[in-house]
A and B are shown apart, each in its own frame.
Chain A
Amino acid sequence: MKRVLHSWQGAVALVLCLVALTSLPLMAEDAPSPFGTGAIVMVFLLVAGAALVSFTKLSQPLLATILFVAAHLAVWLLLAGITGNEGKATLAFFLLVAACWLLAWRCVTVLSHISPKSGAGDTFLRLLIPAIFGAWILILWEAATRGAGIPFIILPPPSSIGARLVSSVPILWADVQQTIFKAVLFGYVVGCASGFVVAILADRIAFLRRGLLPIGNMVSALPIIGVAPIMVMWFGFDWQSKAAVVIIMTFFPMLVNTVAGLGASGAMERDLMRSYASDYWQTLIKLRLPAAMPFIFNALKINSTLALIGAIVAEFFGTPIVGMGFRISTEIGRMNVDMVWAEIAVAALIGSVFYGVVALGERATTFWHPSNRGG
């Protein structure tokens, strides 16, 4: 009894199986190509079998493997069965999907309790657990959209987004070149660099510090994206106007953070530099900039997200016929929602890579900071 309670996901999956058994079939009466008996039996055997196995005392890696295979094979059979029967799924179908999901949950729980000896095994688990988690978001999304027949315009299933992504690689690549490699990168580099330089100037020159900084603090809290149409008027339709939006959006966070960082070194550390008769630039390079690095990287991370938002949204206000923002705004007008989602997926991927690169740079530069020392 204790083991059954321990694997409560398995227990609930069994109950769901029984309820599903009483409310067969899996598809409505008028479904054009209902499930074959073999497939149904197979799904029930997989789910019930894995649920029963989860109560046993098998070794954790073996148990996790069995659960992983059974849950995903069963749900794959279920999803494959929807083809031709879109929108005809019954309660029994969703109960079985839920049972598979519970088994996958159990699998992740078991995996989370494994502490591997080797570094490679640890890395594998660290990647596998979020991968299963992410995959199930897509599986449930797929089952819900296709099984219940949610209109394509409202939410296309991930499978058709994926198909659209694969078939439109040349278009997507051209959009990425236009938006990311031109507008975002140029704007990000120029915006961050000029914010940094002005921060140093403000540190040196009192009137800048007292005049510009309060304004900088105010502006960095504004939704600057609103200036996008004006930038299009000023700099034309091509990527230059988008880069201008990105520069304006990234400049102020960098300015404000760098100035805060330059003030972050301790009084004693500065006295130490004074006792060495160190000049302004020596103190800046050897003490104040290293101490400011956590702040500067904070700005770089904030700006990596802001730059992407800025460039994409700015393209809504006029572009040549290429670019991620352009594609999103025109394809939604043509009801090609899957293309919009494909662009969103690409943007999400690039945003994660961008952020990841900056975060790696941060780990390498501020390894000494108390928040990073452990890792």
Chain B
Amino acid sequence: MNNAPSSVVSAKKLGLTFETSDGPVHALSNVDLTVNKGDFVSFIGPSGCGKTTFLRVIADLEKATAGEITVNGMTPEEARKSRSYGYVFQAPALYPWRTIEKNIALPLEIMGYSAADRKARIERTLDLVNLAGFGKKYPWQLSGGMQQRASIARALAFDADLLLMDEPFGALDEIVRDHLNEQLLKLWARTQKTICFVTHSIPEAVYLSTRIVVMSPRPGRVTDVIESTLPKERPLEIRETPEFLEIAHRVREGLRAGHSYEE
């Protein structure tokens, strides 16, 4: 326990190599990164830069092959077994045979929450993602955006302070996406969770984050970490301010630098 209590994720010289029939693939190499409590950290980079892999290592869905990583001061496996994070996937991954409220109840059932507690939490999280009144619907009766909000509600229902989001809005159209980004920020402010957010949209990363981690591929590595100077209160219009554009420019430069060794 030599981590400061405020660090939620701490990676040192982290590496992950997949052994494939075409030889080793270096998905991650030498990643040093600390995520502090209450941070909203975005990971941005082109496909294959290891941003999703890094998130999956935090979640103990993949094992690192080199270096060290702690989550809440524990190994990722211990952290997973103590249910310390909620994970939102690229697709909603709601179970079609369960209603929305039963889907949100799924982690609560597995983790052994009481029936009364489950009911209260379902109501609260449905409210939090603006889906009150849709609890009795089946996932396939809702739009894509509503489904993804339900999957966020599911990740918020239990007491995990860390929220891992893997391109949660990647499959949605721009208008829905803007709306959900705005809601996500409000939700973050209200719940005070720590959020790690994978995206490949520069405006999304800049709009949401307190820190932006720029990554580049082959091997997957961190090329820049940008601290956002934007205020915590962010209306959608902030995206037209010079300050916002300045940060977006830095991110774009970082991405370009990562690509410079290619043609």
Contacts and interface: CB of A to CB of B under 8 A. Distances in A.
A277 interface: yes
Interface in A335-375: 366-370, 373
19 contacts: A269-B93, A273-B110, A274-B61, A275-B61, A275-B85, A275-B87, A276-B83, A276-B107, A277-B80, A277-B83, A277-B110, A286-B109, A290-B97, A293-B97, A368-B96, A368-B138, A369-B96, A370-B140, A373-B140
A53 B97 CA distance: 52
A363 to B, nearest CB: 13
Contacts of A367: 97
A116 interface: no
B230 to A, nearest CB: 30
Nearest to B77: A277
A278 B108 CA distance: 11
B81 interface: yes
A199 to B, nearest CB: 20
Given A274-B61, A275-B59, A277-B83, A268 B89 contact: yes
Interface in A133-181: none
B31 to A, nearest CB: 21
Contact of A275 (B80, B82, B138, B140): B80
B147 to A, nearest CB: 13
Given A276-B83, A277-B83, A271 B110 contact: no
A305 interface: no
B87 A290 contact: no
Interface in A274-290: 274-278, 282, 286-287, 290
Interface in A244-270: 266, 268-269
B111 A276 contact: yes
A268 B106 contact: no
Contacts of B91: 268
Nearest to A290: B97
Contacts of B61: 271, 274-275
A273 B87 CA distance: 10
A373 to B, nearest CB: 6
Given A277-B80, A277-B81, A287 B107 contact: no
Contact of B140 (A269, A274, A286, A368): A368
Interface of B: 59-61, 80-83, 85-87, 89-91, 93, 95-97, 106-107, 109-111, 138, 140
A77 interface: no
B93 A268 contact: yes
A272 interface: yes
B125 to A, nearest CB: 15
A274 to B, nearest CB: 6
Contacts of A370: 140
B59 to A, nearest CB: 6
A272 B97 CA distance: 16
Contacts of A287: 95
Contacts of A366: 97
Contacts of A286: 95, 106, 109-110
Contacts of B138: 368
B80 A269 contact: no
Given A276-B83, A286-B109, A369-B96, 11 more contacts: A268-B90, A268-B93, A271-B89, A272-B93, A275-B85, A276-B106, A276-B111, A277-B81, A286-B106, A293-B97, A373-B140
B110 A368 contact: no
For the complex of A and B, 4 pairs with smallest distance between CB atoms: A368-B96, A368-B97, A275-B87, A268-B93
Contacts of A276: 83, 106-107, 110-111
Contacts of B81: 277
B110 A278 contact: yes
The residue among A266, A271, A273, A290 with the most chain B CB atoms within 10 A of its own CB is A271
A236 B87 CA distance: 60
A366 B97 CA distance: 7
Contacts of B80: 274-275, 277
